[in-house]
Chain A
Amino acid sequence: MKKKLVAIILVLALSLGLTACAGGSTTPEKVELPQYKVGVILYNLSNDWALNIMKSIEYLGSNLNVTFDYAVGGTDPEQTITAAQNFGAAGIDGIINLHPGMIMPTLIEICEQYEMYIVTSNDPANAHPEYGTFSKSKFFAGEVWEDDFAMAYTIAEDMIKTHGAKTFALTGFPFGLADQMDKRLNGAKKAIEDNGATLLAEGLSFDKASAAANIVSQYPDIDAIFSSVESISTVYQPLVNAGLGDKVLLNCYDPGEGALEAMEEGVVNYAVEGTLADSMIAFVLLYNAMSGNRMTDADGNAASIEMEYVLAKSHEDFVNIQKYITGDSAPFTIDELKPFIKVLNKDAKLEGLTEFAQGFSLESVMARHGG
């Protein structure tokens, strides 16, 4: 009997010890994640800009049981509206819209009709006169955006102050096509005006390559060309053909294939990247909304998070951007974003997410990911 009692006491002690060990484990409680289907509206489905965004959000989706459908919004609002309606009819749970934010009221109406959530990324909707009304819609998950005017101003000003540029030309799509590109052109124009430089020509056309060739041929002594779009497929070749590759300053938005060589050759001097980072933050807002945890400010308005673009001014900067942001590793890991997802962390707050998103920079990503 004594032996039996000792055995029982030992078994209990062992069991308690093991239970105590299990309690001290770092393994989190397993949460059953709901399944969602998200529709993504992009300008384009094939260039590097789009592919980087798709890669980043699919990385998050694969960790959170979310699948994606894609549609082209083009530069035509009608196409975006059609895409949203098609998503609604297909039973999509939420939309990430990377098309200009100024058609958001219509998109939100469609989302209310189909009871799906929407977040906008890349271009803000907050300048819309009806923003105060639609930002309270329970289907509007929020917006994540960059200040295109400010970034364009910074680039043009740096061309003047650092490199001594005195004469400029603008190139890109004509005004009125996309709000975001208009802001870039206006930002550059303002910097040129404020810093006493001269704008010689506006080569804004759908035929961007011919417009760039005309700028190069009509103004061979120009100091800088500001492009509101990707410039490798438009301005690069005319500059190189004219032998002006290393004489004329040039910037590039959403740099794709060929940009690394163009920066190394000194034909492109500024490269702007970062839209994929705000699409990841937008995904977090959408995910929270879809799971019934819409993030709002104190007045019930949808989240509006401003982020910074990443600007490469040298070949070395651009190599780091490709390595840490657009390359194999995403700018944010799933573990870095989990604290802001309510179903995984019930204490997640909009303020915390905003602070984290606003800390995004090349340096912060390199510091977080061992650069």
Chain B
Amino acid sequence: MNIKRIYSNIWKTLVWPVAIFVFFLVMTRLLQTESTFGSWASMDSIVNQALLTAMMALAMSCNMINGRWDFSMGIIMMVTSFIASPIIRNNQLNSWALLVLCVVICTILCLINCLLYLVIKVPTLVISIGMLLIYESLVMIINNGGGARLSGMRYTQFGRAPQIYILCAVMFVAFYIIYSHTRFGYNVRSLGNNQLIATNIGVNEKRNTILCYVLCGVFLGVASCINVSMKGTIEASSTFNNNMGMMFTAFPAVFIALYLSRYVNFTVGVFIGAFCIKMLTAGILALGLPSEIQDIGVGLFLFLFIALTTNQGRFSDWRLRRLKARPGSALDKA
């Protein structure tokens, strides 16, 4: 790969986050709002939030690439923290135990979804909605509907810097290796590109599906641990614990990563996608806009991003036509 191509890819990868950052930095200064958007502390907070979203996005990405949409991811995270928190607190364990327990519980719950999918052979979308309803009822029973509550550094160190950065860095590297440098990762992509050809050349789809759900469980477990460590308290009620909202923030991060994967590794793309979404939310708040307009801003960004990226071919054609139409251009002569 030549150096020009590398620079081009870096530029194309970073253009969205840089544009969002510069836009809000300039706007907050022009409007003289009292926010500190762009300061180290504010960017640190945005990165922390983006890391949680990125972990969720990584968890769901392998399944999404293969068309397996799962709406129960958010509630699985909640159920996990509701089961793990009292065990950790009552036995006075520590953050490492919380992390391990969350990973184990999430993996088991994801494998239940997987098993149902493989046995019943109903689309994962349907299965996940059924499981979502079951888990929403279950959270009212676990811990007597008391939700999750952990406080103190002993239990919540993975919600704070630098531990959250170290943990996420390890997970990013692990995902990068698994997705980009293992047979499993190649199989995920080949099945995602064309299932029929992939199975004909010998890819074992069932085994790949199980491994996808195991990977999903591990990353979702890490996300669950970070979530309960950052928030300290999570309410049992699905209305108040925002399990669907969290999941729907992670979906766009995967979309952005799939687009950016033309220019940069998918794993980096997921983080950039999550960072863009979180920076956008924080930036709109920093402008002091009324809440009614805030959601419009996020919606418009997604709309604009998807419109621009999915219509790139049309933009290229348009540019080509303009070049051809220019008198004396090389294309015109050709």
A interface with B by C-beta (< 8 Å): 43-47, 72, 74-75, 167, 170, 174-175, 198, 200-211, 213-221, 229-230, 232-234, 236-237, 241-242, 257-258
Contact = CB atoms under 8 A, between A and B. Distances in A.
A66 B28 CA distance: 59
A200 B34 contact: yes
Interface stretch (B93-101, B184-192, B289-297): B289-297
Contacts of B236: 44, 46-47
B254 to A, nearest CB: 18
B240 A217 contact: no
Interface string B125-168: 00000000000000110001111010100000001100000000
A1 to B, nearest CB: 78
A201 B240 contact: no
Given A232-B233, A233-B234, A237-B230, A218 B240 contact: no
Contacts of B46: 214, 217
B309 interface: no
B147 to A, nearest CB: 7
A202 B290 contact: yes
A313 B62 CA distance: 51
Interface string B228-246: 0011111111111010111
Contact of B249 (A198, A207, A209, A215): A207
B246 A47 contact: no
Interface in B37-88: 37, 41-42, 44-46, 48-49
B286 A218 contact: yes
A46 B33 contact: no
Given A47-B235, A220-B36, A214 B45 contact: yes
B35 A201 contact: yes
Nearest to A203: B285
A237 B34 contact: no
B245 A217 contact: no
A207 B49 CA distance: 11
Contacts of B237: 43-47, 72
Interface of B: 33-37, 41-42, 44-46, 48-49, 139-140, 144-147, 149, 151, 159-160, 230-240, 242, 244-246, 249, 278, 281-282, 285-286, 288-292, 294-295
Given A44-B239, A174-B295, A207-B242, A218 B140 contact: no
Which 4 pairs show the lowest CB-CB distances between chains A and B?
A46-B145, A217-B45, A233-B233, A204-B291
Given A46-B140, A75-B239, A200 B288 contact: yes
Nearest to B233: A233
A326 B35 CA distance: 39
B10 to A, nearest CB: 27
A37 B288 CA distance: 50
Contact of A217 (B42, B144, B145): B42
Contacts of A207: 242, 245-246, 249
A241 B160 CA distance: 8
B34 A219 contact: yes
Contacts of A230: 235, 240
Residue among A167, A233, A234 with most chain B CB within 10 A: A233
Contact of B45 (A44, A198, A213): A213
A214 B282 contact: yes
A218 B146 contact: no
A178 B234 CA distance: 21
A74 B240 CA distance: 9
Given A44-B240, A207-B242, A233-B233, A218 B145 contact: no
Contacts of B278: 210
A174 to B, nearest CB: 6
A258 B149 contact: yes
A210 B49 contact: yes
Contact of B231 (A43, A175, A209): A209
Contacts of B282: 214, 217-218
Contact of A175 (B48, B144, B147, B291): B291
Contacts of A237: 230-233
B149 A257 contact: yes
A217 B44 contact: yes
B288 A201 contact: yes
Nearest to A215: B285
Contacts of B35: 200-201, 218-219
Contacts of B232: 233, 236-237
A46 B144 contact: yes
Contacts of B234: 233
B34 A167 contact: yes
A208 B242 contact: yes
A75 B42 CA distance: 32
Contacts of B42: 217-218
B291 A174 contact: yes
B231 A233 contact: yes
Contacts of A75: 239
Given A46-B235, A201-B286, A206-B244, 9 more contacts: A46-B147, A46-B237, A47-B237, A72-B237, A74-B239, A203-B285, A205-B294, A209-B230, A242-B41
